[in-house]
Amino acid sequence: MTDTFIWTPTSQGGGGTANAAVRRARFGDGYAQSSPDGLNARSRTYQLTFTGSKAQIDSIIAFLDAHVGLSFFWTGPRGTALYYCDTHTEPFPNGLVHTVTATFEQTFQP
């Protein structure tokens, strides 16, 4: 069963990025044909920031570390979907407030 990422970001870095997968054939006379590439031709990426106590940030990092190469559910601005996170920052262990930034990329499964 797929896990769910339950933490709410404190910042979404100005929104997400929608990426389209398009097949395009160009011809010598300037004509081009385009079509969506596959059933899920639109995917989204979000740059998220989480700020909180050391314990909260440690639990977020533990979740992301446990899901290396695995997808998880996350409810974003467009609803719940499957995402993966290959990149996140590591906070320095000082102070009472810690921050981690992560990049969530939408993925699809059959």
pLDDT in tens, 12-35: 766 789 989 899 999 988 899 999
Nearest to 106 by CA among 36, 33, 21, 9: 21
Q: CB within 8 A of 25, min separation 6: which ones?
A: 32, 33
pLDDT of residue 106: 95
pLDDT in tens, 54-109: 999 999 999 999 999 999 999 998 899 999 999 999 888 778 899 999 999 999 98
Rounded distance, CA 47 to CA 100, Å?
11
Residue 110 has pLDDT above 80, yes or no: no
Higher pLDDT, 39 or 94: 39
Rounded distance, CA 94 to CA 25, Å?
54
pTM: 0.85
Q: CB within 8 A of 38, min separation 6: which ones?
A: 21
